[in-house]
Chain A
Amino acid sequence: MSGRELMYREALREALFEEMARDDEIFIIGEGIAERGGSYKVTEGLLDKYGAARVRDTPISEASMIGVGVGAAIAGGRPIVEILYVDFAMLGMDMIVNQAAKFRLMTGGSGRVPFVLRTQGGTGGGVAAQHSQSLEALFYHIPGLRVVMPSTPVDAKGLLKFALRQPNPVMFLEHKHLYMTKGDVPEGELITEFGVADIKREGSDVTLIAWSNMVPRTLEAAKELADMGISAEVLDPRTLVPLDREAILKSVAKTNRCVIVQEAVRRGGIASDISSIIQEEAFYSLDAPVQIVAGMNTPIPFNLTLEEASVPQKDDVIAAVQSVLHSKAA
């Protein structure tokens, strides 16, 4: 333990400072990111340190912000495009889906798109249907993209630094609820490779798979389950593409039970895909059907009680664990 605590947003900021010092090609564009330092202060101070050429405010032009990021990346630049809410990334979907994701294959591998789109999603505090979505499944569905969803400050830093050193388009999805959360971040170089899951808590009775803001919630549930005598393992894939299948299968082989917790709506979600992988590859080590705890199939309502009802809460996770523990498989 280094004993050094940072907030999630501070860890991201540190990654940006370090990587921009290391690589002159890195630049960042977004709305209100320069002088104002961004809505979550992740880019505060970058303008002073790295100058107006590399830290730029943009008009409200998401489709072209994303497009110029992709173009710059193809031309060998290292762009970071910050989009205020993942909901607004929808305005740039053509550039993400038809351009960024396809270029490497279309050029037979000679073209590369080292493009990082940083944005944030999820519910939080009554910002309603167009500012609360969890849209990772849309990107997950498109071959050619990397999908990264850190849940802790240390992961946020290490994964962002790795994103800025690898050659593929990255959807770096932060969570509005996590920016102010704190965690240990050791001093010194810290790089976290994609495709390596992290066991956030070890356990033997059931595997709980969760990412982004569902990780702290699932950990709370695991703590309560421990008081009830149930030992839950919490696995955070950290990157959804690439997905660390091996770690998932290994954990399930140990616990024989699995619950997947996803904030995004249930239908067409990543949890369903992970569940299908488990049943295909670990069917005979399962003692119960895999359970999914996910968001309701609904836009997020403004009303706070309804907002909470739309996404998984700690008690939903606990109930699902109890059900997989009590279900009798043949």
Chain B
Amino acid sequence: MPNKRRGNTPPKEVLEELFTTAYRIRNFETEGIKLYRQGLVRGYFHPYLGQEGIATGACTALEERDYIASTHRGHGHCIAQGANVDGMVAELLQKKSGYCKGYGGSMHIADISKNNLGANGIVGASTPLGVGAALANQIRGSDAVTIAFSTDGASNNGTFLESLNLAAIWNLNFILIIENNQYAVSTTLAEATRETELYKRGEAIGVESHRIDGNDSLVVYETVTDAVKKCRSGLGPILIEAVTFRHSGHHVNDPGKYMPEEKLKYYKDRDPVDRARDNFIKMGKASAEEVATIEAKIGSEFEAAVAAAKSADEVSIQEFREFVEGY
């Protein structure tokens, strides 16, 4: 994988933010799965384990005015875009204090106030929705950039090409990030397409396109930082294919037996959270104590979120009826 790192050392704050965010996502997923196993979470739960580097690097490169659109595997995007875990845990536990008041759940999780268009149950939906957000921003004269997180699976949906093409002819501040984890459930990318280097699809319609190591949040951060800069100076849209691999099956109840062990090992050896931690320690000269403090804080923040969510109320049927009055 081309590892197009810049030569210079990034500021310590950036390295700290990358590690903190990646670790927060890892902890959310690992602990969230435990809640699922306890029967506290229902429905679908698609873990972001193994892909943390992508949302982390990408959203760290954004400013507050920028937007994202997410996928069915959306917890990581939601966290990286600034959501707090209280509202997310409460959402998984279908509570009124959840970001979507328990109406949405894992697959529709979003902190709308952070310019997150939300997780999505329809594979492929994030691309046109994200292009739409970029269009609205262009029309209102904002230089805000929109990132649509998308997937290898979604790249075979027709709207992938339609919407990227619209972004191109309208010069939108739009970045399409294909999280290529090489599977759509158990279907391999090679079974789904002849050309498995997905960034080439962008080039075919005149969009600047890159293929990068999605397991290094720093590489993602630097690539997206450049892409954001280019977009703001009128050179968008840009496509980034970030190659990665899940650490487990498609959703919590998929054992993922079809994932070859050697390949899994290869990617686990390049664990995005470990790499963010390494970067923080080596390049950022962080001490073991600093790292431990961050990890402990994230751990207790999650525990507090669970405790609060457990004792929180659910939306009542009466409130629900009033909410959809006139629907």
Contact = CB atoms under 8 A, between A and B. Distances in A.
Interface string B43-54: 110000000000
B102 A301 contact: yes
Interface in B119-140: 120-124
Interface residues of A, number: 32
Contacts of A127: 43-44, 107
Given A60-B153, A61-B157, A129-B121, A301 B103 contact: yes
Contact of B105 (A88, A128, A296, A297): A128
Contacts of B284: none
Contacts of A193: none
Name the residue among A62, A64, A306 with the largest chain B CB count within 10 angstroms: A306
A60 B43 contact: no
A125 interface: yes
Interface string A110-127: 000000000000000111
A242 B121 CA distance: 32
A75 to B, nearest CB: 22
A63 B104 CA distance: 26
Contacts of B320: 298, 301, 306, 309
B324 A298 contact: yes
B58 interface: no
By secondary structure, the B interface counts as loop
Interface string A49-64: 0000000010111111
A80 B125 CA distance: 25
Interface in B178-235: 184-187, 191-193
A31 B103 contact: no
B296 interface: no
Nearest to B92: A302
A200 B55 CA distance: 53
Contacts of B7: none
B185 A303 contact: no
A302 B121 contact: no
Contacts of A35: 186
A32 B185 contact: yes
A130 B186 CA distance: 22
Contacts of B192: 59-60
Contacts of B317: 305-306, 309
Interface string B295-327: 000000000000000000011010011001001
Name the residue among A60, A63, A130, A131 with the largest chain B CB count within 10 angstroms: A60
B141 to A, nearest CB: 33
B100 interface: yes
A297 B324 contact: yes
Contact of B94 (A63, A297, A303, A309): A303
Contact of A31 (B42, B107, B121, B187): B187
Contacts of B68: none
Name the residue among A64, A127, A128 with the largest chain B CB count within 10 angstroms: A128
B186 A87 contact: no
A306 B319 CA distance: 10
Contacts of B184: 31, 59-60
A303 B315 contact: yes
A68 interface: no
A180 interface: no
A165 interface: no
A129 B72 CA distance: 13
A302 B100 contact: yes
Interface in A65-113: 87-88, 91
Given A130-B122, A302-B102, A59 B94 contact: no
24 contacts: A57-B187, A59-B193, A60-B154, A60-B156, A61-B158, A62-B157, A64-B158, A126-B94, A128-B108, A129-B103, A130-B107, A131-B44, A297-B324, A298-B324, A298-B327, A299-B327, A301-B103, A302-B43, A302-B105, A302-B108, A305-B314, A305-B317, A306-B314, A306-B317
Interface of B: 42-44, 94, 100, 102-105, 107-108, 120-124, 153-154, 156-158, 184-187, 191-193, 314-315, 317, 320-321, 324, 327
Interface of A: 31-32, 35-36, 57, 59-64, 87-88, 91, 125-131, 296-299, 301-306, 309
